[in-house]
Structure 1
Amino acid sequence: MPRPETPLLAADTIIELADRPGRPIVLIERRYPPPGWAIPGGFVDIGERLEVAAVREALEETSLQVRLRALLGLYSDPRRDPRGHTVTAVYVAEATGEPRAQDDARNLDVFSVDALPEVLAFDHALVLSDYLRFRETGQSAPLRADASD
């Protein structure tokens, strides 16, 4: 019996630079469509744990070894990725050192949470809004069960 089609699975990591004042975050400018600035991340490989994928993708795109601190939330809106239905687990992590754009990153920059770029890919404006709430309160992303979202 054929397996039913299911959404793709991704892991993204909001990387706080622990060795810089204010703990700014690292975002990448995407090399491939859809355009915009994005939280480093990518697809989970078959046989790979979410946490391992998050650490691997962070290293591949930013050259930073990260330490995962928290699971911010799961994002599953079927419209969040224009390429197709993708579900992502978003982690909050910390790293030290100098990030470098690699792999799928056209560019990379370090942003204060008070000065995030305007053009964000996917649903990353929502994710970063949840992250700002997490930084202030320590609470992970709210559950969004309303189908009209």
Structure 2
Amino acid sequence: MPFEYIACPNCGSKVKEYRNPLPTVDIIIEVAGGIVLIERKNEPYGWAIPGGFVDYGETLEAAATRESQEETALEVTNLRLLGCYSDPKRDKRCHTISTVFVAQADGTPQAGDDAAGLGVFPIDALPSPLCFDHAKILADYAATKKRA
């Protein structure tokens, strides 16, 4: 069943509460020497593409730019879409749909926000473990780079 019933806070009537996937963004940031990955401070632990939840009233592009700044201190340019990932099991915490972008950045990334650490890695020498479905996303990214 896609919804449950809850009580309206104003009148007490029974209303449907829909359970919908939550929108997220991930951003593959290309810098000299590779791509930026963060080491997560919170569960699930491991390495991840910088990203996070889209705020209400925010575009996907604005969310990707904001998350990049918050997690890596990098201003990104040339933002472009890689793809969307919607496997209900991609995040064990809840059902999310991620729109994944690729962009470039200059400068020295710094771990921020919910990042315990940060590194720049060549696409053929990624750290382990990778969180969520990021191994699949990065494999798709690598395949697009080979075709270019």
Q: TM-score range by the shorter chain?
A: 0.7 to 0.9
The TM-score normalised by the length of structure 1 is 0.86
The TM-score normalised by the length of structure 2 is 0.87
Letter in 1 for 2:124: D
Aligned to 2:27: 13
Segments of structure 1 that go 5 or more residues without pairing to the other structure are 139-149
Q: Distance in 1 between the 2:92 and 2:114 partners?
A: 17
Letter in 1 for 2:44: P
**Cα deviation, residue 3, structure 1:** 5.2
Letter in 2 for 1:30: R
Of residues 124, 129, 145, the one that matches 2:134 is 124
Aligned to 2:36: 26
Of residues 74, 86, 90, the one that matches 2:96 is 86
Q: Distance in 1 between the 2:22 and 2:80 partners?
A: 22
Segments of structure 2 that go 5 or more residues without pairing to the other structure are 1-14
Say if 2:115 is the partner of 1:105: yes
Higher strand share: 2
Aligned to 1:73: 83
Query: Cα RMSD over matched residues?
Result: 1.1
Structure 1 or 2, whichever has the larger Rg, is 2
**Cα deviation, residue 137, structure 1:** 1.3
Q: Distance in 2 between the 1:41 and 1:79 partners?
A: 17
Q: Distance in 2 between the 1:68 and 1:36 partners?
A: 27
Aligned-pair identity in percent equals 54
Letter in 2 for 1:4: Y
Runs of 4+ residues deviating >3 angstroms: none
